[in-house]
Structure 1
Amino acid sequence: MTGPKSERTREQIVAAALRLFREQGYQGTTMRAVASEAGVSVGNAYYYFASKDELVQGFYEEMLAEQQRACASVFAASTDFAERLRGVLHACFDAAEPYHEFAGKFFATAAQPDNPLSPFSTTSSPARDGSIALFRELIDGSSMRIGPELGATLPELLWLYELGIVLYWVHDTSENTARTRALIEHTVPMVTRLVRLSRLPVLRPLTRQTVDLIGMLRA
């Protein structure tokens, strides 16, 4: 089943699930309740999503798609590495902001090491790979020269950097999560400077160690 109508139904189910997750919590929401909230049959809900876990993966993918759409104009407007990185990060939290209240309870579940909702799980690989690809696009279109060793792993390092800010955002109680936005503004220049300095001969051993570390974590 494909086409605009199918896509609308899928989005409708995800939106209904997120409303219930916010109101009742992840554990307290059933697929039957999601189907009722979305106005579809239980069988139809299961056609699109085999479980609640798959519904959350759908949420991940929709947030990524929204972030990608916002980044298109950012990337078209500038080749400056810092501006592009700032744009990617702000786009991430613009997309996630409506779900901030729900995020704390959800991440308590997703943080379990063996949970399929973890951003590091095999189940989450499509959204994770898409996010890393977005950082690759950021790098490839920037005017900054990056050494080949670091360039191969930098997208993944930037994704981990974004994930760290997400963890801070989950616990951010400031109005409109202003502290998270300030964290982005203060750390982007630092990250940019580190990337730029990585080409210096004196820092190449550290760059190699970082590349080796990422390789070990992938194994």
Structure 2
Amino acid sequence: MAVPDAARSPKAEQTRQTIVASAMRLFRVSGYDRTTMRAIAQEAGVSVGNAYYYFGSKEHLVQAFYDQLQAEHAEAAAGVLDEEKGFAARLEGVLLAWLDVAAPHHAFAGQFFRNAADPTSPLSPFSEDSAPARDTSIALFGTLLDGSDAKVAPALRAELPELLWLLQMGMVLFWVYDQSPDQARSRTVVRRVVPIVDRLVRLSRMPVVRGIVDDVVALMRELRGPS
């Protein structure tokens, strides 16, 4: 189990970040499955016991990496969210910002995906363990929507941040398999998909599509289950 935030001194936080950085280096070189906690501790210059004090398993290390990536994403997206009011411009900027911060990790993203694709894995983006990173990402899309010029059907507004997060998950899957130089095809997908999403969001207020919107909202609530 990871150390609670309240218990982290500056020195402890530095140690924690060193362990995470060391793990990421070894994952890139040796692969996720072949990297052991002992090897991570040696790379970080700490004892195995100390490594386990901060992170109970490799999965907890990856969760810390997810959290770090979300923080970097929010920081990278802040510029476009401060400057733009158009929904399409904000959405494109946020999605491209994720590609920017994730780019250095593309070489070993497939290794994580093999584990994350298992629905029983704690590394799944839909798992309880991934809830903090998932909730942070959905909140970012909420900020995107709240500060935009989009006029959204009231029934859809509460569900749209999560729907946009699911859109990002689809983009992440495409990006994992994208072998084009600098994953240029993923950026093309973002730029082509965003105008479609923008039109669909604006159409959501029209009476002719209100029934479809209600069906989507009902489906989201049913899949989420009781609160």
Same fold flag (TM > 0.5): yes
In the alignment, the residues of structure 1 paired with residue 184 and residue 14 of structure 2 have an alpha-carbon distance, to the nearest angstrom, of: 33
Counterpart residue identity of residue 3, structure 1: S
Q: What aligned pairs does 1:23-42 form with structure 2 within 5 A after superposition? A: 23-42=29-48
In the other structure, the counterpart of 1:204 is 210
* Correspondence for 1:154 among 160, 164, 169: 160
Q: Does 1:43 align with 2:54?
A: no
Aligned to 2:10: 4
TM-fit CA distance, 1:103: 0.6
Of 59, 64, 77, the residue aligned with 1:58 is 64
Distance 1:75 1:211 in 2: 26
**Residue in 2 that maps onto 1:174:** 180
> The residue matched to 2:65 in structure 1 has which SS?
helix
Q: How many residues align?
A: 219
Q: TM-score, normalised to structure 1's length?
A: 0.97
User: How far apart are the structure 2 equivalents of 1:8 and 1:23?
Assistant: 23
Secondary structure of the corresponding residue to residue 117 of structure 1: coil
Counterpart residue identity of residue 45, structure 1: A
In 1, the alpha carbon distance for the partners of 2:171 and 2:182 equals 15
The aligned amino acid for 2:212 is L
Instruction: String of CA shifts for 1:43-69, please: whole Å, max 9, x gaps.
Output: 221121111110010010000000001
Task: Tell me, in whole angstroms, the C-alpha distance in 2 between the residues paired with 1:104 and 1:2.
Answer: 32
Cα distance in 1, alignment partners of residues 111 and 52 from structure 2: 24
Q: Which residue of 1 aligns with 2:109?
A: 103
- The one-letter code sitting in structure 1 at the alignment partner of 2:157 is G
RMSD: 1.0
Counterpart residue type for residue 134 of structure 2: R
Q: Gaps spanning 5+ residues in structure 1: where?
A: none
Aligned mates of 1:80, 1:138 — CA distance in 2? 10
* Contact in 1 for aligned 2:76/2:101 (Cα 8 Å): no
CA contact (8 A) 2:125 2:134 kept: yes
Indicate the percent of aligned positions where both proteins have the same amino acid.
Answer: 56
Could you tell me which of 68, 76, 85 is aligned with 2:82? 76
Matched, 1:190 2:220: no
- Following TM superposition, by how much is the alpha carbon of 1:217 offset from its aligned partner in structure 2, in angstroms? 1.3
Letter in 1 for 2:27: F
